[in-house]
Amino acid sequence: MRVFITGVAGFLGSHLADNFTKEGHHVMGADSLIGGDMNNVSRGSVLLTFDCRNLETLTRVMQEFKPDVVYHTACYPHEGLSVFSPTEISDSVFRTSVAVMTASINSGVKRVVNMSSMARYGDRFTPPFHEWHVTGPVDPYGMAKVAAENVMRLLAKVHNIEFINTIPHNLVGKNQKYDDPYRNVVSIMCNRMLQGKPPIIYGDGKQTRCFSHIDDVIPTLFAMSNLSNKVIVGEDFNIGPDENPISIYELFKVISKQLGFKKDPIFYPDRPQEVKHAACSSDKIRKFFGYSTRRTIDDMVADVIAHIRERGTRPFKYHLDLEIVNEKTPRTWSKKEMSQ
């Protein structure tokens, strides 16, 4: 099978590429390297460095490679930042997705597997969020994700291409970008604490999430490449655990215990539009794919710590510009305090 992966040098994309190459499939992918890392790319896959919003280049590459399946993981996945950089984040999410679907149709791709976000659900329902819930995003990132889903689904129907929409959430593990000051709370905390700096917590730390180990998620995503499985076409799938939610403060304590870290966290004001409690139901993914959670939060933290130690701690890189700076902008971003 020939598999094309957008965002192939990123966290999720690189793990998908590793899995497909190990199984003997031909893998090619594109990445702008704004959020990806060359060190993430396996030797068995081909990396092309360009922005997938470039429809002409993307179409030419796909038509030459002739993939059977496309996995779309590329975008700026910065939910919180999207309130302060709405133009760039929305453009990355929406325009990239439409370009990927357009190029796939024009290249004879059989199936597109899209990576959406639990930001699609917003906060109108009490967790866990189910796929049948009406979407209600509360930030530009989530709104762009829902718009992208809708356009991709429509184009798939009109042009007879198989489409599957997945919602992986709160992924943690090796290859995750840990010098991004805007997202990835586990990696941010571990990177700072390994440098002897106290972690930063927004709000009271009582926000709850269910974190997903990348190794638990990849097998299910891989199984979606099975073109003989037609019952999953057109469906939405949450992929991740719905048990054992943990607060951000409790997460800090888990990391502190593993590192023997003695300092208290620094508390900053709440970030605007952050959903307080978020978790997705795993009922559907268990039914269709036999999904189960095998790795604990302790496993996830241990893997991130080992990954950072292997590559070395890094200063935080403010790689995306703020478009709106006012009294509501977290000063960790406006004053670049994350690296202090």
Residue 51, pLDDT above cutoff 80: yes
Cα Rg of the chain (Å, integer):
19
User: Distance (Å, rounded) from C-alpha 317 to C-alpha 144?
Assistant: 25
Residue 100, pLDDT above cutoff 80: yes
pLDDT in tens, 289-337: 999 999 999 999 999 999 999 999 999 999 999 999 999 999 999 999 9
Question: Do residues 330 and 181 touch, judged by C-beta distance below 8 A?
Answer: no
Token representation of residue 15: 């793990």
Give the model's pLDDT for residue 55: 98
CA 240 to chain CA centroid, Å, is 12
Residue 266, pLDDT above cutoff 90: yes
> Confidence class of residue 116 from pLDDT cuts 50, 70 and 90?
very high
User: Distance (Å, rounded) from C-alpha 323 to C-alpha 142?
Assistant: 18
- For the residues 197-204, what does the mean pLDDT come to? 97
Give the model's pLDDT for residue 172: 97
Token representation of residue 194: 């390994």
What stretch of H or E contains 277?
strand 277-278
User: Distance (Å, rounded) from C-alpha 20 to C-alpha 27?
Assistant: 7
Residue 340, pLDDT above cutoff 90: no
The model carries a pTM of 0.97
> Confidence class of residue 339 from pLDDT cuts 50, 70 and 90?
confident
Domains of the chain are 2-171+213-239 (3.40.50.720), 173-209+243-279+294-339 (3.90.25.10)
Residue 50, pLDDT above cutoff 80: yes
Kindly report the average pLDDT of the chain as a whole number.
97
- Secondary structure of residue 198 in the 3-state scheme: coil
Question: Mind giving me the DSSP string for 295-330?
Answer: --HHHHHHHHHHHHHHH--------S--S--STTS-
